[in-house]
Amino acid sequence: MHTPAPAWAADGARHVWLPYAQMKTAAPPLPVVRTHGSRIELADGRSLVDGVASWWTACHGYNHPAIAQAVRGQLDAMPHVMFGGLTHEPAARLAQRLCALLGPGFERVFYTDSGSVAVEVAMKMAVQFWLNQGERQRSRFLAFRGGYHGDTFGTMAVCDPEDGMHSLFRGLLTQHVMAPLPRDEASQAELDALLRQHAHELAGILVEPLVQGAGGMLMHPPEVLARLRALADRHGLLLIYDEIFTGFGRTGTMFAFEQADARPDIVTLSKALTGGTLPLAATVASRRVFDGFWSDDPGHALMHGPTFMGNALACAAANASLDLFENEPRLEQVATLSRALEAGLAPCRELPWVRDVRVLGAIAAVELAAPFDRDALRARLVEAGVWVRPFGNIVYLTPAFTIGRDDLDFLIAAVAGVVRTMRPPAA
């Protein structure tokens, strides 16, 4: 027996506009009253095991006491102060730590408050890097089919133009050069040809390293990144890694690019940066890129500055999250999680209506052969006691790295069970 939705949910539902939802037909959102660990507690008393970690952010599980304590302490001292002309310890310390974690060459952190804006800043940085050298024609990017980099106008233009979420706006967006990832000889040849034709007008190459997330949990081997690095060098382009999804352990290493012998010039970070507690993003530049702005000419300054950049609460949360990566065995947990996801979902491969099952780090995707009734599937997963949010023809799991064995087994069994009963109706 479920109790009816609380009054605030029904009253508010008339005024809230939901993401990516046809408001007329979408199922109403589930009212949540509490989170803890890998659990989402609903207003009607049900407790769901979370398989999504709130869009891949809550890597330490919900309500980690160490992050809560850091944020509480910062709230008393100073929740926020403008970052123009002022600075504070949480932001300064975080910048230093992020550069140290990213490794040699990484020098400067530019803070923003969402992933899309971090990518916008990376693109602006790359374009202005060339403008500052008098190269006015380098205003476009090479980006990849299957990619996703955000929802703003600048970033929609570098998402997959056809299968992405933004095909509706195609005519209104800057035309960038969309290429296949160089996985084999044919795609390598196509990419080479595109670069020969367009390199002179490109500012850089933008890619999600190892996994294209929102574009379909599409994975590629590290050699692809080495090829992109070589091409960027050959054509004198900046290489930008969008690690907003992959950063902070999700693929098994702190950053996905550590698995490849190919370092970028600019990296974007967000999602798990604060352990899923507060909005924060960062665009981190290498010394080469930063040097392109270092000048006596005020016109060469990076022309960007979000109101809430470097928010002290968010930076305190991020520092506490990095402490947890240092003090708790997160990457070992990811490795264990990865093996459990692989073993638990492997039987789905035998189903004729499953096209592929792929696992990398703490990411598992079951790709179905045909698109499905998403609302019905989502409802069945909730009935099974789990929070999983399939899209396209992908059912994926990206749990918290700290999920307990019981919850993990329950989650995998629920997803495998629901996928098993998804046989499409006979034609």
Ligand X SMILES: *Cc1c(COP(=O)(O)O)cnc(C)c1O
Q: How far is it, in rounded angstroms, from Cα 29 to Cα 9?
A: 9
Q: 306 a known binding residue?
A: yes
Q: 406 a known binding residue?
A: no
The nearer residue to ligand X, 123 or 302, going by C-beta atoms, is 123
Q: 76 a known binding residue?
A: no
The nearer residue to ligand X, 310 or 344, going by C-beta atoms, is 310
Structure tokens at 98: 């992020």
Closest approach, Cβ 111 to ligand X, in A, equals 13
Token look-up 């233009």 returns 157
Q: Which listed residue (150, 161, 209, 361) binds ligand X by CB under 6 A?
A: 150
268, 283 contact by CB (below 8 A): yes
DSSP class of 391: B
Q: Which residues are catalytic?
A: 20, 148, 242, 271
Q: Phi/psi at 36 (nearest 5 deg)?
A: -165, 140
What SS3 state is found at 427?
A: coil
Closest approach, Cβ 173 to ligand X, in A, equals 16
Closest approach, Cβ 119 to ligand X, in A, equals 5
Per-position x/- string for 214-243, each x denoting binding to ligand X as judged by CB under 6 A, each - no binding: x---------------------------x-
Interface residues for ligand X in 83-142 (CB under 6 A)?
114-116, 119
The nearer residue to ligand X, 401 or 410, going by C-beta atoms, is 401
Q: Widest CA span of the chain, in angstroms?
A: 71
The nearer residue to ligand X, 353 or 391, going by C-beta atoms, is 391
276 touching ligand X, by CB under 6 A: no
Closest approach, Cβ 244 to ligand X, in A, equals 4
With a CB cutoff of 8 Å and minimum separation 6, the contacts of 55 are 271
89-102 vs 312-327: helix crossing angle, rounded to 10: 40
Helices (DSSP H) in 148-297: which residue ranges? 153-156, 185-198, 223-235, 287-291
Stretch that binds ligand X, among 7-15, 135-143, 206-214, 338-346 (CB under 6 A): 206-214
312-327 vs 330-345: helix crossing angle, rounded to 10: 80
Q: 286 a known binding residue?
A: no
The nearer residue to ligand X, 242 or 407, going by C-beta atoms, is 242
List the end-to-end C-alpha distance of the chain, in Å, as a whole number: 36
The nearer residue to ligand X, 39 or 271, going by C-beta atoms, is 271
Interface residues for ligand X in 241-270 (CB under 6 A)?
242, 244-245, 270
283 touching ligand X, by CB under 6 A: no
Q: 307 a known binding residue?
A: yes
Number of chain positions touching ligand X (CB under 6 A)? 15
Token look-up 């506490």 returns 320
Closest approach, Cβ 211 to ligand X, in A, equals 9
The nearer residue to ligand X, 131 or 269, going by C-beta atoms, is 269
Q: Which listed residue (160, 208, 265, 367) binds ligand X by CB under 6 A?
A: 208
Integer-rounded Cα radius of gyration of the chain = 22
344 touching ligand X, by CB under 6 A: no
Structure tokens at 75: 């709230």
Q: 305 a known binding residue?
A: yes
Q: What b/e string do you get for 110-130 counting C-beta neighbours within 10 Å, with b at 16 or more?
A: bbbbbbbbbbbbbbbbbbbbb
Closest approach, Cβ 218 to ligand X, in A, equals 12
Closest approach, Cβ 281 to ligand X, in A, equals 6
Q: 148 a known binding residue?
A: yes
Return the residue nearest ligand X (CB atom): 115
H or E stretch covering 13: helix 7-13
Q: 389 a known binding residue?
A: yes
Structure tokens at 195: 């670069």
> 177 to each of 199, 220, 236, 328, 360, how far by Cα in Å?
10, 20, 16, 42, 28
Residue 408 has a CB neighbour count (10 Å cut-off) of 21
191 touching ligand X, by CB under 6 A: no
Which residue ranges are tagged as binding site for pyridoxal 5'-phosphate? Answer: 115-116, 242, 306-307
Which residue ranges are tagged as binding site for substrate? Answer: 55, 148, 271, 305, 389
Residues forming the site for ligand X (CB under 6 A): 114-116, 119, 148-150, 208, 213-214, 242, 244-245, 270-271
